[in-house]
Structure 1
Amino acid sequence: MPLKYKRILLKLSGEALMGGKGYGIDAATVDFLAKEIRDVASMGVQISIVIGGGNIFRGVQGSLEGMERASADYMGMLATVINALALQNALEKYDLPTRVQSAIEMQELAEPYIRRKAMRHLEKGRIVIFAAGTGNPYFTTDTAAALRAMEIGADVILKGTKVDGVYSSDPVKDPKARKFSELTYMEVLKKGLGVMDSTAVTLCMDNNLPIVVFNLRGKGNIRRAVEGKKVGTLVRGNDGAGIKKKNS
């Protein structure tokens, strides 16, 4: 089947690596993700990844508990580097060439983020994991994902979550919650839906970059999203921008 999206940015929350644990990294879950990514890579898709750090430390939570916000956010960025290295290790077990690029320089562990170098890695078939968010406090990894996706010319942001799309309310708490198959950026912002933070959604809206929100735990879901099959919720522009956008 032809690909709808040739170059993707996969956004993973840190919590996605926990599996059934309440904290940290679950090896079986990371291995599952590596296999799913390997499947998509075998199709010739150029893959970049932004990963959060909430399974280890969340800057916002730290600031709520009395920690100075900038310091808390830097700690959160370091947590994303730990997750990036864990995912890199899992991917390389399956012989997938992978590079970690960090927005905070730490040359013993990762390359510094350089846009042109990242694009060259993708063109050569390497998976690029962007770590440390934007390198600035007060910005989430959602915003980092939107920023990096536009910098590298990604066709779509695929946001893997614990649920199978975007709902009108929390489906775990509200049995009457309604799932949306498609939404516009403005609908997401006006309804206050938890797709990504408002800064990230606005960046995507300004650049007509589509977002697909889907259940990361479903086997084959990343592949289905790349092929353009119905999976999760598609967020796009009013004029259909985001549906039409793809490489020729």
Structure 2
Amino acid sequence: MEKVLIHVEDFTMAYTDIPVIWDMDLDIYEGSITAIIGPNGAGKSTLMKGILGLMKPISGKVSIMGKSYKEVYRQIAYIPQTTTVNWNFPTTVIDVVTMGRYASLGLFKRVNSSEKEKALEALKKMKMEEFANRQISELSGGQKQRVFIARAIAQNALIYFMDEPLAGVDKKTENIIIETMREFKREGRTIIAVHHDLNTLCEYFDHVVMVNKQLIASGKTVETFTNENIAATYGE
């Protein structure tokens, strides 16, 4: 029997006075690779930010492993959309990845050579070790995404939230990211990702959440990703 890892109840979120997500009840299961899908403006990223406490809901509650986000945040890694990041900040690739160790160390503890080595190992998994000393601003879009995921690997979390991890990346990067997600699953970790390409949904994700300002359907991909639910989600 599947175990509920994240429970969202009576969840409503808004920008200013305009509701984006209405009265949502949702379960996400432990050890799954779960996609959040829906049309543009459906509230996919807003839902993710609400679960993570990055945005405050108008109503409702979220429990993660039966606890609040503040109680378990060290077990959670978040990879935002690359388009939301200021890439002109003067820092190297290895320094960005090492930031993933701060959740374990605490903000004011010194990063030693052992922590740097863990960051380098994470870069190797993403096949980015040769760029370790490169300025982050010099990388391509796909390379930046791999660095962000390396940072999440270095964090060694139990739950990974990824907001459009495959958007705008090349096929090589896409394959590396998907294999990393599958490795996380084999290790008993849970991945939740906002996803757009419906053609790869069944291949990449074992669970799906279909939203369009409200929850349309959720569950195992093979059971939930039906023509009826697609039409209800995308208005076709």
How does the TM-score come out when normalised to structure 1? 0.31
Greater Rg, structure 1 or structure 2? 2
The answer to which structure has the higher helix fraction is 2
- Larger RCO, structures 1/2 (Cα 8 Å, 6+ apart): 2
TM-score of the two chains, using structure 2 as the length reference: 0.33
Which protein has the bigger strand share? Answer: 2
